[in-house]
Amino acid sequence: MIIAISSRALFDLEESHRVFIEQGKESYCEYQIANENAILEPGIAFQLVRKLLALNHDLPGDQKVEVILLSRNSADTGLRVFNSIQHHGMDITRAAFTSGESPYRYVAPFKADLFLSAEASDVRAALDDGYAAAAIIPSRAIGPERDQLRIAFDGDAVLFSDEAERVFRTGGLEAFKDSESGAAHQPLSGGPFKNFLSALQRIQAAYPDERSPIRTALVTARAAPTHERVIRTLRAWNIRIDEAMFLGGMDKGEFLKTFAADIYFDDQQGHINSAAEHVAAGHVPHGVANEE
């Protein structure tokens, strides 16, 4: 499994970014070079990446996970990022520095299963090209320290296509219920994160259930009777979800806090804002909810 991540998602570069916004590129370059030996603090996705890389030490054999840095820095200004990677003992050796250009186009040649970035435009471009991608939302929420990697997903427009969400938005709740009940035995099409969940599943399969270093959750606004199609879809895909929460429109934040997610992926900004109060969150700007 290959994860591509931007430097601003991995480390706290908000001060550096402020210099860039307020004073321009030249001042930013001077600032980064002057501070290249000042170690960067962990960013929103740091704990997630640390746990992903730890999977490589849990089982003998081939490398299970590789993390690749994709950065708008130049190689010169990016030296501070690599110095910080080495200081934190992270096994990240491959990178692409694009000197201000969008780095998302290197997601394909690196064959990444997931792209995480603080730049929403890069994330949208990656999603349009068919890759799982999310915009990391600024947050100071820090989950409990534990070794197990916990990842939570929304359903429609994330794990699944947005076909059901479109019915809800055009016809309302009753039309959505009728449509989903009538199609309960018809699997939903896959969304942008289906293949990433499959990659997690392949790693999980190497462990007994009680010793798995990965735990996944589906956290959806659906409720009965629209739950059945979701369950049957995952069964048809032969994909395991460890926990499933059908909340019927309840706020998701407290449930994600209880699950202790290292990251949560959702297509709707309101759910992401709620989640970010408690856990790291990634907005997936995909589907009908983001067409405006």
- Summarize pLDDT for 80-103 with one digit per residue, the tens: 999 999 999 999 999 999 988 889
Confidence at residue 292, expressed as pLDDT on a 0 to 100 scale = 66
Q: What are the b/e assignments for 177-207, b being 16+ CB within 10 Å?
A: bebbeebeeeebebbbbbebbebbbebbeee
Give the C-alpha separation, 110 to 136, whole Å: 20
Phi first, then psi: give them for residue 134, nearest 5 degrees: -150, 145
Q: Is 241 inside a domain boundary? A: yes
Give residue 84's domain range.
2-136
Give the C-alpha separation, 210 to 223, whole Å: 28
Could you give the residue ranges of the DSSP H alpha helices within 71-119? 79-87
Q: For residue 131, give the 3-state DSSP assignment.
A: coil
Domain's final residue, options 70, 105, 136: 136
Q: Is 262 inside a domain boundary? A: yes
Q: What is the torsional sign of CA 178, 181, 182, 187?
A: positive
- Taking every pair of Cα atoms in the chain, the longest distance, rounded to a whole number of angstroms, is 63
User: What string of pLDDT tens digits covers the 292 residues of the chain?
Assistant: 999 999 989 998 878 778 878 887 788 888 888 888 989 999 999 999 999 999 988 766 667 899 999 988 888 888 999 999 999 999 999 999 998 888 999 999 999 999 999 999 999 999 999 999 999 987 766 655 678 999 999 999 999 999 999 998 889 889 989 998 999 999 999 999 999 999 999 999 888 888 899 999 999 999 999 999 999 999 999 998 999 999 998 999 999 999 999 999 999 999 999 999 999 999 999 999 898 6
Confidence at residue 60, expressed as pLDDT on a 0 to 100 scale = 61
Give the C-alpha separation, 173 to 162, whole Å: 15
Catalytic residue of the set 154, 156, 162, 267? 154
Q: Is 220 inside a domain boundary? A: yes
Residue 8 tokens, joined: 């601003």
Q: What is the domain-level CATH number for residue 27?
A: 3.40.50
Distance from the Cα of residue 128 to its chain's centroid: 16
Q: What is the domain-level CATH number for residue 189?
A: 3.40.50.1000
Q: Is 143 inside a domain boundary? A: no
pLDDT per position as a tens digit, 126-155: 999 999 999 998 776 665 567 899 999 999
Q: Is 90 inside a domain boundary? A: yes
SS3 of the chain: helix, strand, coil, percent, to 5: 40, 15, 40
Same domain, 173 and 103: no
Please say if 154 is a catalytic residue: yes
The helix (H) or strand (E) run that includes residue 227 is helix 227-237
Length of the chain: 292
pTM listed for this prediction: 0.92
Q: Is 142 inside a domain boundary? A: no
Which residue in 199, 190, 239 sits closest to 52, CA to CA?
Answer: 199
Q: What is the dihedral of CA 118, 123, 126, 127, to 10 degrees?
A: 150
Q: For residue 155, give the 3-state DSSP assignment.
A: coil
